[in-house]
Chain A
Amino acid sequence: MGGFPGGVHPSQQKLTEAAPIRECPVPPLLILPVKQHIGEVCAPLVDVGDRVLRGQKVAKSQGYVSVPVHASTSGTVVKLEEHPVPHPSGLGRLSIFIEPDGEDAWDESLTPMPDYREQEPSVVRERIRLGGIAGLGGAVFPSFIKLHDHRNPIDTVILNGVECEPYLTNDHRLMLERAEEMIRGMDVIMHVAGAKNGIIAIEDNKQDAAEAVRDALQRIDGTEGISVRVLPTRYPQGGEKQLVQALTGREVPSGKLPAQVGLLCHNVGTAKAIHDAVVLGRALTERVVTVSGDAVPNPTNMSVRLGTPMPFLFARAGLEDLEGMRVIHGGPMMGECLPRTDVPVVKSTNGVLAMKSGGLYSEHAVEQPCIRCAKCVEVCPVGLVPNELAWHCRHDQFDRGQEYDLFDCIECGCCSYVCPSHIPLVHYFRYAKGQVAKIEQERAFAEQSKARNEARDNRLAREQAERAAKRSRVKQQRSKTTDAKPAAIEADAPEQEKKGDSE
């Protein structure tokens, strides 16, 4: 037990680990995209001119894998239009623009539930959904979905405070300053999931946070099942599957969730947000964001309202002009380089880094031939052979790529990080995954069309056969006018073919 294979030790660059979480002021205009999670898009509930309160639902879910969006302060809806979101494509999404009124008045429709332990787990779970909670570690998967799986009982809840990405310190500071709320949130999760044990995982570069959490555990009653585990610092330990392996020695089966092996992982920030939504009745309207990077004069951690424009945020850290900067959404290992900087903070924004353009490796790397040094194989935490996989992906041999376990890649970037030939391996894997998805989509569409077409042919054939049968019946009746009624002729129409598998 203990540890996971591979991994790297990038330079920590935790410039902001000693910077307490500051309150970021409410900006003059908030931009709330109607989708800030993984899953289905939400539909706006408000119109231009409407007055909204902080925590009021402004966009509702339109599917199961979805959580609503809430206004992050009180004010007036001034605009509903497409606006760029933090995404490497620079594409936009329908967003709700809110002009704050400065009162910051709360919507009180969610009643506080301090007695959550007395409530039915399903009630608490619904509250977590209504609170708009999605995984705040960066993946933003709707949290309520993971909380319940009737096929797989959960024995242990893992709280992920690993924060292995360089630069980012938002989870570190949250554990130091909001340990009690976080632990209460964890207790909510354990109640809903029916778990008896909890592990809070922290890397050993955050000993102070581990101490703070241990102290808080002692102060709070009923947390006997929760323990703190300090792990040796290594990237990508914060990856869900790697963390499960490092803590328990169990492996999550390929393509499955940790629930399959009785585990449930949540980020520490998510736990704190769950506490707020359940115990305080406050929907998700703000989150802790690390503002850092080599171009930021005063790197810091801030509690930021969702929808705050990035330039406003950087200005609070002393960087007024983003011209010529590269802005990374997330950490430097897995974060996305944003082509546009006028995007808002969303639920997945754990950090934003402004880098001087010249300092960004990914922008200047010149690819050279692979010398098969095997370093990528050595560091891959999943056990892939990245150099071979990249070769297939690069040459559009996607079947071969899948044979080399393309879809087990977690895109942690360790292979690209160590490659002496500076090959952007992860980039090739992303490209191949995208292409495979596209090909699958086209195949599914083609199959649907084929099934539709066959159904139509069958219908036409049946109708023709029916007509022919009718004609012959009439003919028979005419020729054998005196005969007894002929037996009813059943048209032997072929049965409509069943639709093929939609997969």
Chain B
Amino acid sequence: MSTLISSPHIHGGDTIRANMVAVILALVPSSLVAIYMFGWLAVFLFVICIGGCMLTEMVCLRMMGRSTAPVGDGSAALTGLFLALVLPASVPWWMPLIGCVVAILLSKQVYGGIGYNPFNPALTARVVLLISFPLNMTTWIMPMHAGGVPQVDLYDFAQCWALFWHGPAALGQGLDAITMASPLGHVKTEWSQGIGVAEALQNYHYSYLHAFLGGEAGSLGETSALALLLGGGYLLARHIISWHIPTAYIATVALLALIFHQVNGEHFAPPMFHVLAGGLILCAFFMATDPVTSPVTPRGQLVFGVGCGVLTWSIRTFGGYPEGAMFSVLLMNSAVPLIDHYFRPRVYGKGLR
């Protein structure tokens, strides 16, 4: 045997699959909260998104004549789970399916499959859906246990199935009747009508505690900051992600919000509202830290996090969309090669004094 066997001859045992499974585990609390709040609708979305993504991946690999083994590495399932968590519960069945194809085919496999995609697949899919179907993607069904009286009993399989399969018409209602605005959307609309932040939050019956534990309207996975923080903490503890991106991201948003809120509290929402609202925590711990599409160097990760933070706050405050987290992450994704090149660590014995 003349094959060259190169050291090291031992390995720590880490695998791609183990990484993916860890992230899926970290999303369990959020997923359970989603099911608790959105009942069967959440279950349908999880099944169709995860199944759709894995199926798309399988078809893509087969069409390219490659081994279909990577379907089992958990990355497609994770993308599906992510996609479900960033969708509103009230979308009809075909919309997440389009999302699956966009995420896996257009945003991952055309670039060469796992490891080669420049943009976060789940967020790309969400943006495509948001731009294509703005109405469905910005109306939020009233969750269970949210204080108000839900128009649809989300724990009733038949009602949910009818809504999922045939749309709100099957329940004899318009989409408007069963949905509500998210806090971010509400504040934005009220401001356009000349109503200040404090008053808008008042008439929304907004509560920080609700937003932290879960209970405000929003996408499946956005609602409970607590569940997301549990998962994020797990990832940090297992060294799947490092603290740099989430910390820089959230701190930047909070800092900007604080400064501007101090300057003009009537126009600019307070920092705590920004941190708990929308997809910020989900994006900070799970989307912006997606290894493939984020920088690898610690300093680069800080820069990336700050960039995401500035963009998120700016889009929320000055942009046309109420939420900017996904756009900011995707925009920063495109800067990753540049960031990685210019923010490398200092090499031992170089640049001394």
Using a CB–CB distance below 8 Å, which chain A residues touch chain B?
A: 8, 10-11, 88, 90, 166, 241, 245, 251-256, 326, 328, 332-337, 339, 355, 360-363, 365, 368-378, 380-385, 387-388, 404-405, 408, 411, 413, 416-422, 424, 426-427, 430
- Interface membership of B340, Cβ < 8 A: yes
CB distance A385 to B9 under 8 Å? no
CB distance A245 to B348 under 8 Å? yes
From B129-137, B148-156, B189-197, B290-298, the one touching the partner chain is: B290-298
Q: How far is the CA of A382 from the CA of B115 in the complex (A)?
A: 25
Q: How far is the CA of A196 from the CA of B242 in the complex (A)?
A: 43
Q: How far is the CA of A377 from the CA of B3 in the complex (A)?
A: 29
Q: How far is the CA of A382 from the CA of B8 in the complex (A)?
A: 17
From B15-23, B27-35, B93-101, the one touching the partner chain is: B15-23
Q: List 23 A-B contacts (CB under 8 A).
A: A241-B348, A251-B349, A253-B349, A253-B350, A254-B348, A328-B9, A332-B9, A337-B7, A362-B8, A369-B113, A372-B115, A372-B296, A373-B291, A373-B296, A375-B239, A381-B348, A384-B345, A385-B297, A385-B344, A385-B345, A408-B347, A408-B350, A417-B11
CB distance B14 to A332 under 8 Å? no
Please indicate the chain B residues that have their CB under 8 angstroms from the CB of A418 in the complex: 12, 14
Known: A339-B1, A362-B5. A417 touches B12 (CB 8 A): yes
Q: 6 closest A-B pairs (Cβ-Cβ)?
A: A369-B115, A413-B8, A427-B6, A374-B296, A337-B5, A254-B349
Q: How far is the CA of A254 from the CA of B351 in the complex (A)?
A: 9
Most central of B18, B19, B350 by chain A CB within 10 Å: B350
CB within 8 A of B10: which of A166, A404, A424? A166
Most central of B12, B113, B294 by chain A CB within 10 Å: B12
CB distance A363 to B348 under 8 Å? no
Known: A254-B350, A382-B348. A368 touches B16 (CB 8 A): yes
Most central of A373, A411, A427 by chain B CB within 10 Å: A373
CB distance A388 to B296 under 8 Å? yes
Please indicate the chain B residues that have their CB under 8 angstroms from the CB of A419 in the complex: 11, 14
Please indicate the chain A residues that have their CB under 8 angstroms from the CB of B16 in the complex: 368, 371, 420-421
Q: How far is the CA of A207 from the CA of B280 in the complex (A)?
A: 49
- Interface membership of B202, Cβ < 8 A: no
CB distance A355 to B6 under 8 Å? no
- Interface membership of B63, Cβ < 8 A: no
Most central of B1, B18, B348 by chain A CB within 10 Å: B348
Please indicate the chain A residues that have their CB under 8 angstroms from the CB of B19 in the complex: 371, 373, 420
CB distance A333 to B8 under 8 Å? yes
- Interface membership of B205, Cβ < 8 A: no
Please indicate the chain B residues that have their CB under 8 angstroms from the CB of A385 in the complex: 296-297, 340, 344-345
- Interface membership of B116, Cβ < 8 A: yes
Please indicate the chain A residues that have their CB under 8 angstroms from the CB of B2 in the complex: 90, 339
CB distance B291 to A332 under 8 Å? no
Q: How far is the CB of A325 from the nearest CB of chain B, in Å?
A: 12
Please indicate the chain A residues that have their CB under 8 angstroms from the CB of B3 in the complex: 363
